Every structure is written in structure tokens, then in C-alpha cells.
Chain A
């Protein structure tokens, strides 16, 4: 620890290497030149709830030539720590690199009006090998306290210039100033995709440089953003990747005097062209000899049309097991994966495309980006964004999507991970996008036929017709148990008063979405007695029991995976010796744009109560401006479901 002498820093300013650049890429801040006002600050100027904030976050990435092209990345940032909740920001991991040239890391504290500096020493840095030739450095900032500032600066090198780092303007804590400079030789072309809600100022400029005696132009891009709020954690958001403020780069092509022109991706047509010509994609699709036996065994069944496609899907589901890896390129050849009976997404689904083609159908691969990988922006062609491939069958003018990696998937019923906007069809002759969402809803129709026993239990039969995603999800959860017995036992064990008997499940092991489930149940203590009254909630097992939206405000859109259609019909017979005194009023509830609807329809007929509950939601995305309506819709629905039927003793 030592106190900074401000005279030293002035001297250093004159020693700064002189630069011939004509474009702004001077370091925006000098290491160690701390503004005492920042140390005195006790609250983040743009967010009073923040535990810490970036005073600034500056980065530079350049493609440089040192024997070969490489990426030189410089990162310099300062974080103000406001309270102990943010101390973990003092645990630093330098992201994986091939080599690192320097690390400066200092904590600043204000003690008796003076700035006191604590440095991280070289010996306190842990150097770890992560994988292959990549290393990570870790260290802990010393003396981090409430009010401290930590400042970190490092320069590192990546040999792989194709993966130019993305830059996040937004973090989980606020950022007051974020600046990123990217520079690369004129021979390189990178695609740039800007994401998020915040304004980023962009500038371009050129610098002259040389490799040996060859002069070239470095194309420079600078990005500046200010006062970016923290990115919140919220449910019902598929991935923060779609909304967090950042810029991404993708190499399109290189044409240098030293190498031949190499295209990486230039446009969607080129991406499709490259996929069609790729040894691990399009070229593989031409192989089909290994499928001969499969074709024979499928043809024997004499099914035709989409039934035959369905057979092919199921054949592939059972023949090659998914190894849990995504990817649009095959790991080995299609015949190898087929023989091995195991593979990644491409190994399986490209085999599926090849098989369906051999059966005489028009079938194409569709490349897409999974939910957690983020949405594709058609205006920004990007090959790297595409991390998954499925199959598309065009038959009698209709489109059918298939994914054989999930044993429970069906035609047009894709695993949830694939439900993400649009996919790109890989075929000759033009670019065509296809919608991935909204083919199938979550669909459930169920009835409850209940008699209230003399000891005030609900006894009756529940019959469910599950379709589409409701069947898909139910199958998955039942398959987490060894037997149906254990599945029902589990439900019983988690509810004191509930018991099941005589259950009957049809279609559990079928491959078609329809499934019916019928079970007799008895549920004690469902009716409350108060004096000579008895009361119960007729909406016995409502679809939503609690409002999933509890917060006052939503900062990012609400996303659902599919539309909902849930219908419940209750018939409740009251016990002898009682008469119905009150029943709730019927109600119809709609979102202002009618995209969601809830019907609570109740009638009484002699000693029976008939209740129909219908919940339908068509839209899969609601904007933040619609959040209050959505929350109120759900709350009104839940409040209604809690209303009571009152019985009176005769």
C-alpha cells in the first residue's frame, strides 16, 4: 500500500508513446488517475439500488500481424464498490487467452482524506490451464471495502482471430461509461450486430499501418454508450441474450496479399451456399447408402404420406441417441453416426433429412438458433448464430418440422429449446425463412366429477385429455419415475389428504401427442364447516393457482413458449342434508386486445353445481407496456378461482 503522489502521474503523461493514429483510440482514462469524487461517492448516480457500478469499462480489440494474424485485446475498467453485497466483484477471472502480457490491478480506498492504493502482486495471481492452449488468470483484489474503487487492466492475445470478442455495454450492475474500439486490417470484413435497448454512438475511421514494408489501412470502429442500467434477472424470459445491450462480430471474409480470399459468411445466400457445400453438412446429405436397410424396413409397413414421414421420424429417434450436444455440423459422417447409434443434433437430424428424402419426400434441413442462444436477426447474416438443425418436410403444400433428438417430440411438436422465432431453410435457389413457433398449443381438456361425501371430502373421477405440449410435458414428467404407480404415489405423498386409485393412462408410450389420463381420487378436508354453513371453492384444481407475475414493474418483455388452451369442467354433487345458499357469479375476462381470455361459468341445478373454466392465451410475447394488464388479468383470474360456494344445513 502506498499513497499516490499526483506529481508522478503528471510526469508519466509525457512519456506516453507517441502515436501516428489519426483516429480516436487514445486510452480514455489513465490507469491510476482516480477522481477523488468517485471515491467519496456513496450511491450510484443512475441507480440508487446498485451495490456497485462500473465507473468506466473500456476495451480495444485489434487484429494484428505477428507471424500470423492474431487478436490483441486490451481491457481496462474501474468499478465502484458501494456495499458488502458487491464484494464478489473483487474476485477477478481473466477470460481464457493464449498469452497475457500484463495485468495491473489496484484497489483504492479513501483513508483520512487520502487515496490509499493496494496492488495485486504478481505472486498473488493464480495461473490456470483451462483447456488446450488456453489459460485463465485469477486473483482477489486486496482491501475491498464499502466505498472502494477497483481498477483492472490487462492485455491478452488470442490466436483464433475468427472469434472477435463480443462487447457487453450492459452488465448486471450499472455502467456509467462503456467504450469499445475494434480495429482490423482492410483485408478483413466482419459483420456487426448491435443488440439491446440503449443508444450506442458509433464512429468509423482509418489508420495507416504496415506489416514489414507493406502498408495497409486499419479500419477502426468505436462504440460509446453512457449510463446503461443494470440488466435484471426476470422469469418468463427465454434468454437475456436477446435483450442485453451488446455488439457481436462475425468474420465474413479475408482477402489479404498473403493469403487467398477466404469467405466465412457474407450474406444469407452465401451462408446457405456454404452449408450446402460444407463437408459436415450439405455434402454429408448426399450419403444415403447406409440407409438402405432402414428404407426397406419402413417401406414394409405400407404407410404413405405423412404417416410414412412419422415412421421415419420414430425410426431415427430410436436408432440414434442424442449425446446432448447441439450443433449444425456433423461430428463424424452420417453413416458413422448411424452405425454408432449416437450423435449430436446434426448427426441425427441430417440423417433424418437424408432418410426422408430417400423415401421420396421434399425435405430440407432448417438451421436455427436455440432459445438460450438468442434470436436471429435477418438483417445481420450470421453463420455462428445458427447452432442447431432440424428437418422440414413439404408435403401437399404444407410445411412440417421434425426433430429426432427428443424421444417425445413429434411432427410440428419441437422440443422447447427450438421454439425461437424463425429458422432458415437450407436449399438451392433463394433464401426462405420458416416460423418455428405456434404450430401446437398447450392443450388440455379435463373433467372433474365430484361428490361431496358426508365427511366433507371430495370424491370422484378426474379425466384429462392432454394434447400437444401438455401431453409432451406430462409424458416427460411421468418418465422421471420408474412406473406409473410411483408417479401417483409421489403425488399422494406430497398431499396429506389426497389418495388415488384405479388410474388409467392411454397413450403414455405412444408417439402421437394425444394422451388420456383417468383417475379416481379422494381428497379429504375440501369443505369447511362453520356453524351450520359449509363452504368450498368449486375451482378445485385450477390451471394457475398463483399469479406468476408478482412484481410491480417489468423491465423486459414476457415470453411464453406456446399458446394455451385449457378447459376444465366440474360437476359437483353436494351432500344430502344441505342446500346451496350461494354460488359465485359467472365472469368473462379478457385482455384488452382479446389475446387472452378467461371464462368462469357456473350454474346450479338441484343438488349439483356445474362449473366451466376456460383459459386461452394466443399470444406468446407481451411487451413491458402490457405488463400491468397481463398481471391484472392473472390476478383477477386467481381471485375469482378463490370464490366460494356456500351450503346451508337443512
Chain B
């Protein structure tokens, strides 16, 4: 009898140990740990939809944290809001051998407001727990369920959720009543879906195994070109008593129009004032300009994310009264202002930034947009207004929203259009730099730089800060050793297009170094290059420049009396599809004139071109670093 019990016990324990050992770190293939900070051991995400607005998602995953860099990947963080609730939270912690070391206690879970730097009002909350482990590697296993009662779209499913994370196995399942189907799109994804029809339900499933980690590379394409992703949208949805479909961009835009319709009333006083403000102005453009300046002068941007407010703009009259709003509120308000002087404009959904934008025209979804701007259409001179910034130049969108698709929300539904773009020739940064080298090697300098069109973005953040902050930014940001600034100025000269000017005057403690009878220096260009120095041999992703641009620098260097030029670098002229460069070094009466002109063309450059590009870059690099040698007579 005794033996029987102990055998039973042993078997039972063995069973437990076996199950736990499944998460032993040794079971991870080497190919998945190399360059990985964390490994997702398994991840199951199950969507179960029950109606147009109701669905729940069950999450269950285990992740092994290999080192300290990925510590936060072991944290539990579940977001929810008033339209969703979280249940069945469980957590188990394992040591590196896959032996269970602890369990998540309910009382340890924090329930806090989701604070973020950019959202002031938000009804989002999170349930959070951070395990305390300092012995790497370790493994966490979590499961929980989120039940939703409102639906506009689903987030994208990314089995690899960050750089330096690999995946052993991940599954996505979607079960939906057959009359409520979904559309989906797979990106960078190796497998197709399995689809089963089971009685009244339709069941989709996707599975991936052994995804190697992805390492960050600068100037790489947007995330949707890199990370395996499944985009899911409901064919029809409903959110807080509104209903819509993703049949087409037009139908999605119909839903959007219902949210903004009739929210653009303004008081009669305001309307009368706006008419008197613009009555005497001759052109349509002047009128729009006056309205834009009026809006900028009386509003400011505050990020708001509350319930349907996450999709619906504040009333124009409310923005008028309070003087603030988010991108939705301010764009809708500007639309109302223009309407009151008889100018029609469109509230426009757009994806801002490099990663999020409308790229898949065949796949209407709210996931591809994250921002609102205003489009004032005209046959030959359409004007685009970014309404969330008091200082933004008129009719200037900036690098975050130019050159891409946008969705006009009209009374006839959504309409896809494209925002304007600038050529590499138009995106200019032009510097004139003077040096006067002293006999000890120090030098006075004057820097005069003009930034045009997209180049304006480089300096935009400094234009309206205080002198003290500007000076600090110059001292820390300009690429020069031992710099002292005597005077400087920033000015915004945007009129018909975005343009800013920087002037700096000062000295460098050691522009040239003395070596016996020689003086040697490398030309200082002050401003940083916004392209790579070289392409690493094992670069994996294409090189991507969303916009082209041109740098032109003219250096005029006066050398000390008694010195002559012993060595000047050779001139250089190169032309490739990636870009062009020109360097010229010339003697002048009192010294040296150097001209550097570099143009980078926009585009995505694949591996086959890396060798040529690397050559091009190394030529630039060599010329920039090459020394000029002076010798005393």
C-alpha cells in the first residue's frame, strides 16, 4: 500500500516536472537565441466574435528573457478601457531549467491609469505586474482574456513584437459567426490561413514556427515591410451606437462622415467676424491663409482619448469656446471656419510617420491611419493644413505626412487622394561657412544655413524656443570640437514654402593642429549628415530614404600669414542612382575654398545595390575626413 502511494506520487511529480521542463531554456534552438534578448516560447491568441460589436480575445503565451536588455518583456501589461474588461489573469514564473519558481498573485497586480507622454486625457487603464528576477535567463507564462463590447478595428497581429525577439511558435485563431466575416492581409508572412467552416461559425487559423530575431537597422523600410504581420478587419463593425463596414474606403469613409457630420456649427458672431476678416482679401489662398492664422492664434493642441472621442472630433463651437483640441477637433474646427466664409474643405484621415500610413489600397482599414489633417481642394492649387501646431508654416505638411495616400471624409464617403511631395532639388540645406585660422590653430567661424521644404523639419523644433535653449542645442548639437558661440540667430522665413535660416558666429579651440612647421586640419561642416557612413556587410533590409534632399556647403577658409598650402584633397564627382556628390578644393588669394554638394535620391535600395552605394558613401567619407596640410614658408 505504501509503495503504491509513493509510486503514484513519483509518477505524478514526474509528470509535473516533465511539463515544466518543456520551458527549459535548453529546448530553444541556438538559431533563435543568437542576437535575441527574448524568445517567445509559444503564443496563442484566440479571437471569438459573437456580434457586430462584441468579441473576446484569449491570450496565452510564454516568453524567456535571456538578458537584462529584455527585462521589460517579462512584465505583464494589459490595456483596457470602458468598452472592455479583463478577466482570468494568470501568471507562472520559471527558472532557466523550466522549473516553476513562483506564481502571480491577484493582489500583486496593479490597476493604474495608462499614462503616456502624449495623451493628457484618456480613459485607458492598464493592469500591470513586473516580476522581480535578476537571474537570467528566466521564463514567464501569462494568460488572460479581454472582453470587448465595441469594435472599430482589430490591432495588427505581430508574432515578433520587437527587435531582438525570436519566436518558437505562435498561433492566431479567429472564430466568427459566418454572417460576420473578416478581411485579412498577411505581410512578410510565410504561411497561409487554414479556414474551416463549422456549423454556424467560420474558423481561421495561422501558425508560425521558428522565427529568427530581427535586428534594428537604421534607414530601413517601415515596420510593415519588416515584421511578419497579419492585418484583420471586421467586414462590418459597430461602436457606441454607430455602425460601419470595411467593404471599401468609401464605405469606411461613410462611417467617418457620420461621426463628423453636423459638428461644424459656429456662432453667428464668429461667422460674421470671419467674414469681415477675409472680405477684403483678394485671392482664395489669402483667405485660407488668414483663416489658418486665426486658428493657429487662438488654439493649442491637447491630446485627448476618451471613448468615442477617440474617433469623433469635439464640436467646432466647443473648440471655439475652449481654445484647444486634438487633431480631430482642430481639423474639424478649421473646416468649420473655412465653411463660414464659403470655402469647402475635407476632414482627412492619414497615417503619420514612417511606419503607419495608408499603403494597402485593396485593404480598407482604420489601422493604417492615426492622424487627421485638412485638405482644401482646388483644381490647380490644393492646400493642405496641419492644424495641431501654432507655428507650422501655411500649406506645409512636413516629412510625417507628405507623399502618401490619405482618405478624404466626404458626404459621399471616403475618397483616396495623395498628399504632395517635394523633389530632392527642392529639399535644400545650403550652408556658407567662413573660417579664419589663427597661428595657434584656433579659428573664428561664421555659419549661415538655409533650410528649405523638408529640410525645415531638421530645425523646426528650435525655431521658437528661448535663446538659452537654442544656444544649448547648438553647443550640444553642432559637430565641432571646442566650440564657443559669440552670437547666433534662428529665423522662420516661411512664406510660400517652408524655409528657416540659422546664423552662428563663434570660435573653435582647435580647428587645425600644429605639427612642427605644418598645420593640419579636416574641414568642419558643423551639420550632421542624414545618411549612413557605410553599409555593414551583413545588412539585411533594404536602405530606405522616404525623401530625397540636397546638401550644399561652401567653405571659405583664410589661412594664417606665412603659411602656404602643401596638400589639398582631390576634387570628386560621382553620380549614382542613389545620389550624386561633388567636392571641390581650390586655392584662393588668402586661403582655400571648398565646396561640397551631396544629393540623396528618395527610394528603396535593395541588397544588389549595396556595393555601389557603399562605394559612393566611402568616397564621401574619405573626402570629408581627408586632411588639408599647410606649411610655413
Chain A residues engaging chain B, CB cutoff 8 angstroms: 1, 48-51, 83-85, 87, 90-91, 107, 118, 124, 126, 128, 130-131, 138, 140, 142-145, 321-325, 341-342, 407, 479-482, 486, 493, 496, 528, 530-531, 533, 535, 546-547, 550-552, 581-582, 584, 635, 638-639, 642-646
User: Closest chain A residue to B484 by CB distance?
Assistant: A552
User: Closest chain A residue to B474 by CB distance?
Assistant: A550
Assuming the contacts A91-B120, A131-B112, A644-B515, asked whether A531 and B33 have C-beta atoms less than 8 A apart, the reply is no
The answer to whether B120 and A530 touch across the interface, beta carbons within 8 angstroms, is: no
A138 to B135 CA separation, bound complex (whole angstroms): 41
Interchain residue pairs with CB less than 8 A apart (12): A49-B466, A83-B464, A84-B390, A85-B466, A87-B300, A91-B120, A131-B112, A321-B133, A479-B68, A535-B627, A546-B481, A643-B514
On chain B, the residues within 8 Å of A130 by CB distance are 112-113
On chain A, the residues within 8 Å of B101 by CB distance are 341
How would residues 209 to 225 of chain B score, 1 for a CB under 8 Å from any chain A CB and 0 otherwise?
00000000000000000
A85 to B467 CA separation, bound complex (whole angstroms): 13
Is B342 part of the binding interface, using a Cβ–Cβ cutoff of 8 Å?
Answer: no
Query: Which residues 520-573 of B have a CB within 8 angstroms of A?
Result: 520, 533-534, 536, 538, 566-567, 569
The answer to whether A551 and B472 touch across the interface, beta carbons within 8 angstroms, is: yes
The answer to whether B324 and A140 touch across the interface, beta carbons within 8 angstroms, is: yes
User: Closest chain A residue to B534 by CB distance?
Assistant: A496
On chain B, the residues within 8 Å of A533 by CB distance are 566-567, 629
A1 to B267 CA separation, bound complex (whole angstroms): 14
On chain B, the residues within 8 Å of A646 by CB distance are 515-516, 518, 520
User: Closest chain A residue to B131 by CB distance?
Assistant: A323
User: Closest chain B residue to A406 by CB distance?
Assistant: B134
On chain A, the residues within 8 Å of B302 by CB distance are 91, 140
The answer to whether A128 and B113 touch across the interface, beta carbons within 8 angstroms, is: yes
The answer to whether A480 and B68 touch across the interface, beta carbons within 8 angstroms, is: yes
On chain A, the residues within 8 Å of B566 by CB distance are 530-531, 533
On chain B, the residues within 8 Å of A547 by CB distance are 481-482
The answer to whether B468 and A49 touch across the interface, beta carbons within 8 angstroms, is: yes
Assuming the contacts A480-B69, A551-B475, asked whether A1 and B130 have C-beta atoms less than 8 A apart, the reply is no
Report the minimal beta-carbon distance from A325 to chain B, rounded to whole angstroms. 8
On chain B, the residues within 8 Å of A528 by CB distance are 625-627
The answer to whether A140 and B509 touch across the interface, beta carbons within 8 angstroms, is: no
User: Closest chain A residue to B121 by CB distance?
Assistant: A126
On chain B, the residues within 8 Å of A486 by CB distance are 34-35
On chain A, the residues within 8 Å of B316 by CB distance are none
The answer to whether B323 and A145 touch across the interface, beta carbons within 8 angstroms, is: yes
A528 to B627 CA separation, bound complex (whole angstroms): 7
Query: Which residues 18-72 of B have a CB within 8 angstroms of A?
Result: 33-37, 66-69
On chain B, the residues within 8 Å of A496 by CB distance are 533-534, 536
The answer to whether A635 and B516 touch across the interface, beta carbons within 8 angstroms, is: no
Interface-centre pick from A49, A496, A644 (highest chain B CB count, 10 A): A496
Is B476 part of the binding interface, using a Cβ–Cβ cutoff of 8 Å?
Answer: yes
Report the minimal beta-carbon distance from B630 to chain A, rounded to whole angstroms. 11
Query: Which residues 275-308 of B have a CB within 8 angstroms of A?
Result: 297-298, 300-302
Report the minimal beta-carbon distance from A403 to chain B, rounded to whole angstroms. 13
The answer to whether A342 and B468 touch across the interface, beta carbons within 8 angstroms, is: no
The answer to whether A582 and B515 touch across the interface, beta carbons within 8 angstroms, is: yes
A642 to B524 CA separation, bound complex (whole angstroms): 14
Chain B residue total in the interface (Cβ 8 A): 66
Known: A144-B323, A530-B629. 9 other contacts (CB 8 A): A84-B391, A85-B464, A145-B300, A145-B323, A482-B66, A486-B34, A496-B536, A528-B625, A552-B484
A642 to B513 CA separation, bound complex (whole angstroms): 7
Assuming the contacts A50-B466, A322-B132, asked whether A482 and B67 have C-beta atoms less than 8 A apart, the reply is yes
On chain B, the residues within 8 Å of A126 by CB distance are 121
The answer to whether A85 and B481 touch across the interface, beta carbons within 8 angstroms, is: no
Is B343 part of the binding interface, using a Cβ–Cβ cutoff of 8 Å?
Answer: no
Query: Which residues 131-175 of B have a CB within 8 angstroms of A?
Result: 132-136
Query: Which residues 596-610 of B have a CB within 8 angstroms of A?
Result: none
The answer to whether A321 and B134 touch across the interface, beta carbons within 8 angstroms, is: yes
The answer to whether B465 and A639 touch across the interface, beta carbons within 8 angstroms, is: no
On chain A, the residues within 8 Å of B484 by CB distance are 552
The answer to whether B482 and A638 touch across the interface, beta carbons within 8 angstroms, is: yes
Report the minimal beta-carbon distance from A551 to chain B, rounded to whole angstroms. 6
The answer to whether A638 and B481 touch across the interface, beta carbons within 8 angstroms, is: yes
The answer to whether B135 and A321 touch across the interface, beta carbons within 8 angstroms, is: yes
The answer to whether A582 and B36 touch across the interface, beta carbons within 8 angstroms, is: no
Q: Which are the 6 A-B pairs with shortest beta-carbon distances? A: A323-B132, A143-B323, A49-B466, A142-B322, A530-B567, A582-B516
Is B580 part of the binding interface, using a Cβ–Cβ cutoff of 8 Å?
Answer: no
On chain B, the residues within 8 Å of A530 by CB distance are 566-567, 569, 626-629
The answer to whether B464 and A84 touch across the interface, beta carbons within 8 angstroms, is: yes
Partner of B567, one of A480, A531, A546: A531
Is B493 part of the binding interface, using a Cβ–Cβ cutoff of 8 Å?
Answer: no
Assuming the contacts A479-B67, A646-B515, asked whether A51 and B482 have C-beta atoms less than 8 A apart, the reply is no
On chain A, the residues within 8 Å of B513 by CB distance are 584, 639, 642-644
Is B195 part of the binding interface, using a Cβ–Cβ cutoff of 8 Å?
Answer: no
Is B419 part of the binding interface, using a Cβ–Cβ cutoff of 8 Å?
Answer: no
Is B7 part of the binding interface, using a Cβ–Cβ cutoff of 8 Å?
Answer: no
On chain B, the residues within 8 Å of A90 by CB distance are 300, 324
User: Closest chain B residue to A107 by CB distance?
Assistant: B323
User: Closest chain B residue to A139 by CB distance?
Assistant: B121
Query: Which residues 569-613 of B have a CB within 8 angstroms of A?
Result: 569
Report the minimal beta-carbon distance from B254 to chain A, rounded to whole angstroms. 31
On chain B, the residues within 8 Å of A51 by CB distance are 465-466
The answer to whether B629 and A639 touch across the interface, beta carbons within 8 angstroms, is: no
User: Closest chain A residue to B483 by CB distance?
Assistant: A550
The answer to whether A142 and B323 touch across the interface, beta carbons within 8 angstroms, is: yes
The answer to whether A582 and B113 touch across the interface, beta carbons within 8 angstroms, is: no
Assuming the contacts A550-B475, A581-B516, asked whether A321 and B466 have C-beta atoms less than 8 A apart, the reply is no
Report the minimal beta-carbon distance from A149 to chain B, rounded to whole angstroms. 14
Is B193 part of the binding interface, using a Cβ–Cβ cutoff of 8 Å?
Answer: no
A481 to B69 CA separation, bound complex (whole angstroms): 8
User: Closest chain B residue to A145 by CB distance?
Assistant: B298
A138 to B302 CA separation, bound complex (whole angstroms): 12
Report the minimal beta-carbon distance from B16 to chain A, rounded to whole angstroms. 20
The answer to whether A138 and B121 touch across the interface, beta carbons within 8 angstroms, is: yes
A128 to B125 CA separation, bound complex (whole angstroms): 11
Assuming the contacts A145-B323, A642-B510, asked whether A635 and B482 have C-beta atoms less than 8 A apart, the reply is yes
A104 to B538 CA separation, bound complex (whole angstroms): 62
Report the minimal beta-carbon distance from B54 to chain A, rounded to whole angstroms. 26
On chain A, the residues within 8 Å of B515 by CB distance are 535, 581-582, 584, 643-646
User: Closest chain B residue to A492 by CB distance?
Assistant: B536
On chain B, the residues within 8 Å of A482 by CB distance are 33-34, 36-37, 66-67
Query: Which residues 444-498 of B have a CB within 8 angstroms of A?
Result: 464-469, 471-472, 475-476, 481-484
On chain A, the residues within 8 Å of B476 by CB distance are 550
The answer to whether B481 and A639 touch across the interface, beta carbons within 8 angstroms, is: yes
Is B321 part of the binding interface, using a Cβ–Cβ cutoff of 8 Å?
Answer: yes
The answer to whether B132 and A321 touch across the interface, beta carbons within 8 angstroms, is: yes
User: Closest chain B residue to A497 by CB distance?
Assistant: B534
User: Closest chain A residue to B389 by CB distance?
Assistant: A84
A560 to B350 CA separation, bound complex (whole angstroms): 48
A399 to B623 CA separation, bound complex (whole angstroms): 58
The answer to whether A140 and B67 touch across the interface, beta carbons within 8 angstroms, is: no
The answer to whether B536 and A642 touch across the interface, beta carbons within 8 angstroms, is: no
User: Closest chain B residue to A646 by CB distance?
Assistant: B515
Report the minimal beta-carbon distance from A539 to chain B, rounded to whole angstroms. 12
User: Closest chain A residue to B536 by CB distance?
Assistant: A493
The answer to whether A535 and B536 touch across the interface, beta carbons within 8 angstroms, is: no
Report the minimal beta-carbon distance from B456 to chain A, rounded to whole angstroms. 17
Report the minimal beta-carbon distance from A614 to chain B, rounded to whole angstroms. 21
On chain A, the residues within 8 Å of B102 by CB distance are 342
On chain A, the residues within 8 Å of B483 by CB distance are 550
On chain B, the residues within 8 Å of A140 by CB distance are 120-121, 302, 322, 324
Report the minimal beta-carbon distance from A639 to chain B, rounded to whole angstroms. 4
Assuming the contacts A84-B300, A531-B567, A535-B627, asked whether A118 and B466 have C-beta atoms less than 8 A apart, the reply is no
On chain A, the residues within 8 Å of B625 by CB distance are 528
On chain A, the residues within 8 Å of B510 by CB distance are 639, 642
